[in-house]
Structure 1
Amino acid sequence: MTTRSFPFSTLINKQTSVFPALDDADVILERRDAENLVLMRSERFQAMTEGLRLAARSLSIIARSNRSVAEEAFSEELPWLKWLPAEARPECVTELLDHLLAGADTGLLVPFSRALREWMSTAEIYSDPELARRLRGPFDTTTATDLPRPSTTNE
């Protein structure tokens, strides 16, 4: 599927130039002071979510019956999994599959996206043995300064 981009102001001022684009493309409305928005026809949206739900459930079924096949599929699509310690890979795959399945079922994919970024960041740390070693500690706290806990009330 292709996408077309328009400034958000075009939607407000000239809807007749934005809505026809939806016939053969999804539309990205670019906003200066906020996150961009996406417009798409509901039929394409439904097809996308149904496809995602089917793919997520199928992958989850495969993972339950043959974990190594699921890991292999994820490793092929997410090559940075190789940087994780071997004992962390199953946890990563399980967490990502669980978030993907829940997101496909509810339409809320932000937790999946967040977990994907977090695991990738963790893998990037492990890709640098010196950085991983430094982050494991021990930490020199001789020059550390205690800071007061932030207030939980609005003052």
Structure 2
Amino acid sequence: MLPALDHADVILERRDDENIILMRAERFEAGAASLRIAARALAIVARRNSDLAEEVLAEELPWLTWLPDTERHGCVRELLNHLIAGADTGELLPFARSLTSWRSTAVIWSDPELARELQGPFPGDGPEVARPKGDY
């Protein structure tokens, strides 16, 4: 049907929506299995030696160094949890969203003045509003 699929994936570029990738099921399943094994192996390393897991991830995600220690631990744990769940289910969007969020957080921490400003207190907080009466 599509001889190009014998040797490579095919990307269908669409103007009005996301692109579509066509690939042989065998290649897709091999990639998914590889991801599951790599994610679980990294999770085992993280459970046994969290410092080593952070070092491994920092090699690939150098922006981790901008996070404070407490944030870095939480970031590594969250990313690994999303990666393992995504590898198991094939749904990697939560991992991608988390990765983007943590990268943005790290960029903010890289600027000490901005980080201080975003921790509050925030001027302009209005007066406390009374709770409405009635059953809600």
Structures share fold, TM-score greater than 0.5: yes
Partner residue of 1:71? Answer: 54
Equivalence for 1:45 = 28
The residue number in structure 2 matching 1:81 is 64
How far the C-alpha of 1:140 sits from its partner, in A, is 2.0
Corresponding letter in the other structure for 2:85: A
The 3-state SS of whatever aligns with 2:9 is strand
Match of 2:80 in 1: 97
Kindly report the root-mean-square deviation, in angstroms, between the aligned alpha carbons of the 2 structures: 1.3
| 2:111 matches 1:113 | no
For 1:131 and 1:29, the matched residues in 2 are separated by: 42
Unaligned runs of 5+ residues in structure 1 are: 1-15, 145-155
Take 1:66 and 1:36, find their aligned partners in 2: how far apart are those partners? 40
Say how many residue pairs are matched.
126
Which structure features the higher share of strand residues? 1
Q: What's the % identity of the aligned pairs? A: 63
- Return the match for 2:116 from 133, 143, 154: 133
* Normalised TM-score (structure 1): 0.78
Gap runs ≥5 in structure 2: 127-136
RCO higher in 1 or 2 (8 Å CA, sep ≥ 6)?
2
1:4 corresponding residue in structure 2: none
Q: Distance in 2 between matches of 1:40 and 1:22?
A: 6
Secondary structure, counterpart of 1:31 in structure 2: coil
1:25-40 superposed matches below 5 A = 25-40=8-23
Partner of 1:54: 37
Distance 1:137 1:95 in 2: 25
